Structure 1
Amino acid sequence: MTGATAPGGGRRLLPWSTPDGRPCYLLGGGGGRVSRLADEAENAQLGMAAELLGHAGDMLGDRRVTRDQLRYLAARLAESLHDVHR
């Protein structure tokens, strides 16, 4: 994965934030340690999102699933979407 490029180019939006919630950017090329770490984090986020989508399909097709279970699923889907849509 290549990561998002910030306005102005040359900066990669990283898949984590500063402790106060601001976005983190990586300057320069994409071959260093931080870039590889960001690739791994992004791949993990996408993998978790795909897994959640699979669970969602199963749960939505099961009439025995409770309202609380669906709310929990919706919360996890929202978290996952937030992670991958930065």
Structure 2
Amino acid sequence: MTPHNELRLLPWTGPDGKPCYLSTDDEGSHLSRLADSTEVLQLGLAAALLDYMADVLGSGEADPQELRALAADLTEALRDTLRVAESRGHRLLAPVPATRADVTKGPVLPAAAFG
């Protein structure tokens, strides 16, 4: 769940190549759903490209032009995949910091025990 005060990195960039962000507390909004769908498509394309690359390399008959085109497609797919991973990583719930009450639940040693 995205806290409402954090921006979501979207799975596409603007026309100038800069990242795009969404500010919303509604994970079901039209733009949130579009971003989710785009991420699924991007990850699916990356998986398909990896499978295709394995086939091409396994055949041993790929010409250099085909390999360059495939490398370019894989580079773009990797860039998209990393953006999805970064976005999803930021949306993970942050761990709640321990309180003094949590820390003192275990055995308590006197200060002298630490020298």
TM-score (norm 2): 0.63
Q: Point out where structure 2 has 5 or more consecutive residues left out of the alignment.
A: 84-115
| SS of residue matched to 1:85 | helix
Q: Point out where structure 1 has 5 or more consecutive residues left out of the alignment.
A: none
Moved more, 62-71 or 43-52: 62-71
Distance 2:6 2:80 in 1: 22
2:28 to 23, 27, 31: 31
Distance 1:68 1:37 in 2: 34
| SS of residue matched to 2:8 | strand
**TM-align CA RMSD:** 1.7
**Structure 1 stretches of 4+ moved >3 Å:** none
**Aligned length in residues:** 80
Q: Deviations over 1:20-77 (max 9, x none)?
A: 2221111122221100000011111001001000101101101111121111111110
| SS of residue matched to 1:20 | coil
More strand, by proportion: 1
**Do structure 1's residue 12 and structure 2's residue 8 form an aligned pair?**
yes
One-letter code of the match for 2:18? R
Moved more, 75-84 or 32-41: 75-84
Match of 1:77 in 2: 74
TM-score (norm 1): 0.82
Distance 1:67 1:21 in 2: 29
